Structure formats: C-alpha cells, structure tokens
C-alpha cells in the first residue's frame, strides 16, 4: 500500500483515540477494508486481518503495520468465511495474540456480473454464502468477544463492542447483472439491524457502511469500469468516485466517540451516486440489451472471488 496517512485518513482525527483497542476484520486483505484497518491502526489500535490468501494477508498486514511504529497487525490466512471453524480459529488466535476484540469489520465479499438467466444456482449460492453467511458467521463468532470488551470497559471507555458490516447500494434501487450480490447485501443490512435491536441492551452497536464506487479498488475496476472510456463519475452528484480516505473516515466515525449513539443505521458513502445511478455496478453495459441478449455474457470477471 505504501500510503501516507493523508491517503486514508483526514487530519481532523486525534491520534491515540483507539489506543489499546483491537479490530478484527474479515476481508482485511481487500482494498477498502485494509484502508479502513490502516486508519484505525494509525489512531492507536492493533489489528487482526483475516483473508483467504495467506501470503496476501501477511503482505497487507505488514503494510498496515507501517502506519504506526509499535503497532501489532496480525494476519490470519487460509480462512474461508463460509466455514465456521475457520472463523472460530481466527477469532481465538486474535484474542490469544492481541488480548481482545473490541471492534469488528465484516467485509469479506464476492461478486461478479451475470444476467439472471445465465446465473447458475451454484454461483448464486456461492455469493450468498460468502457475503451473507460470512457476515453471519463473523458476527456469531466475534459477538461473545465484543460482549467481553463491553464488560471490561464498562465505566471507563465506551469505545468497545462495535461491529460494522460492509454492504453496497445495489439493493436500494436494483440494478442489472448483480441479482446475487443485491440479494446477499439486503440480508446483511437486515442482519445488522437485528443485531442493533437485540444486542443494543447489552451495550453493542451494529451499523452498515455502504460504499459507492471507490477509485483505485479492485471492485470498481471489475464491476463498474467497462473499458469504454466514458467518465461515469459525471453522473455522481458530487462529481467524483469515492476515495479510500472516505472509507477510513466513515469507519473511524462509527467506532469513535462521535458514533456513540449511532446503531442500526446504514451509512451510505457514495456522493449520492445511488440516487442518480452514477457509477452503478453493471451500469456501463447497455440496458435492456444486456439482459435481453441470449449470447453468453462476457465481463472482466465471471467467477466469485473473496
């Protein structure tokens, strides 16, 4: 990543606000989640990032650790979020090595472009299992640790017991080519709301961050940009794609004291793109021609990928 702090965080945040806290993040090797973890680590936390690819997770963890001298960033690779045992072992490792889990980011995801008529049952199931069941598994295995964090910090610090799910905006209006992803993300939004209701009395907060297209990320390259050379950011009211700094600021807000009374909410960070269709996933393909064609659909990526 080799980024300076101003690439992933605004200067308004006070250093040390997350001192001695631990964040556990699935999908932590990805562009958005790694930037979010980097922002939290920069402000004092230690971290455990969980990923499917062990080598990539370790490389990204080392990059994140450079943001603050003395930080501890643990990588747990070879984790499939669809497998409860993998996540159980990852959470246990995190607590054994770093002492606690105070914050959780559930960010593991898979998506690709495909018309409904060419979307197989197995492919639909794969995305739902990675996105929705992965989010459920992450919450199920980490909530007990979050409750311990709340109990331990009761009366001394409210910066504990917080979970954030990374969702999308596709499901708000619907869009072509991502039935599987939109259905899964709708479930994640509802899951987060249910946790807010049921776990709020125990001191936990649960929220969703719904990014729009974020510049320079794999997801935007694969699912939004189609190589046609058109500047689709012009359809976004704020006139640009989002940045990794936008993602870092959003997660800091919800984990910091500023987010104390925010739970059961969806924080859309997309420059109002979802209201105009600007930068929509699959939006670069002609509609309705794409979904009316019986020819095999061809896009940059046609397989689910964590």
Give the pLDDT confidence of 199-252 residue by residue, as tens digits: 999 999 999 999 998 987 887 777 775 455 456 678 899 999 999 999 999 999
Cα–Cα distance between 28 and 14 in angstroms, integer? 24
| Claim: this prediction has a pTM higher than 0.85 | yes
Give me the CATH code for the 11-292 domain, please: 3.40.50.720
Which segments of 200-240 does DSSP mark as H helices, in order?
Answer: 218-223
Angle 295-109-174 from CA coordinates, rounded to 5°: 55
Q: What b/e readout covers 12-37, taking b as 16+ CB neighbours within 10 angstroms?
A: ebeeebbeebbbbbbbbbbbbbbbbb
Ranges of residues in the chain whose predicted pLDDT is under 70: 1-4, 155-157, 225-232, 299-306
- Would you give the DSSP letter of residue 214? B
| Catalytic residue of the set 160, 185, 233, 256 | 185
Q: How far is CA 246 from CA 35, 200, 216, 274, 302, in A?
A: 10, 27, 13, 16, 28
Catalytic residue among 167, 192, 233, 256: 167
- 185 catalytic? Reply is yes
* Strand 162-166 versus strand 205-211 pairing type: parallel
Residue 300's pLDDT is 42
pLDDT tens, position by position, 101-128? 999 999 999 989 999 999 999 999 999 9
């Amino acid at each position: 990543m080799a980024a300076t702090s101003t690439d992933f965080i605004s200067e308004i945040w006070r250093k040390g606000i997350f001192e001695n806290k631990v964040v556990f993040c699935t999908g932590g090797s990805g562009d958005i989640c790694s930037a979010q973890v980097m922002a939290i680590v920069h402000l004092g936390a230690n971290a455990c990032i969980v990923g499917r690819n062990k080598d990539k997770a370790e490389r990204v963890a080392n990059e994140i650790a450079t943001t603050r001298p003395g930080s501890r960033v643990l990588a747990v690779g070879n984790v499939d979020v669809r497998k409860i045992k993998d996540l159980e072992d990852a959470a246990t490792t995190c607590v054994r090595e770093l002492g606690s889990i105070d914050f959780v980011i559930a960010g593991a995801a898979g998506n690709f472009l495909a018309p409904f008529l060419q979307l197989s049952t197995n492919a639909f199931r794969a995305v739902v299992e990675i996105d929705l069941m992965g989010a459920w598994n992450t919450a199920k295995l980490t909530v007990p640790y979050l409750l311990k964090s709340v109990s331990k910090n009761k009366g001394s610090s409210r910066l504990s017991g917080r979970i954030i799910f990374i969702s999308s905006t596709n499901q708000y209006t619907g869009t072509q080519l991502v039935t599987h992803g939109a259905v899964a993300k709708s479930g994640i939004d509802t899951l987060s709301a249910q946790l807010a209701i049921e776990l709020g009395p125990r001191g936990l907060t649960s929220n969703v961050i719904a990014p729009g297209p974020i510049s320079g990320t794999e997801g935007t390259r694969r699912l939004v940009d189609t190589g046609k050379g058109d500047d689709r950011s012009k359809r976004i009211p704020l006139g640009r794609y989002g940045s990794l700094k936008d993602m870092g600021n959003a997660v800091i807000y919800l984990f910091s004291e500023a987010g104390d009374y925010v739970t059961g909410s969806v924080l859309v960070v997309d420059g109002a793109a979802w209201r105009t269709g600007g930068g929509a996933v699959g939006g670069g393909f002609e509609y309705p021609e794409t979904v009316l064609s019986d020819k095999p659909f061809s896009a940059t990526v046609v397989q689910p990928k964590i």
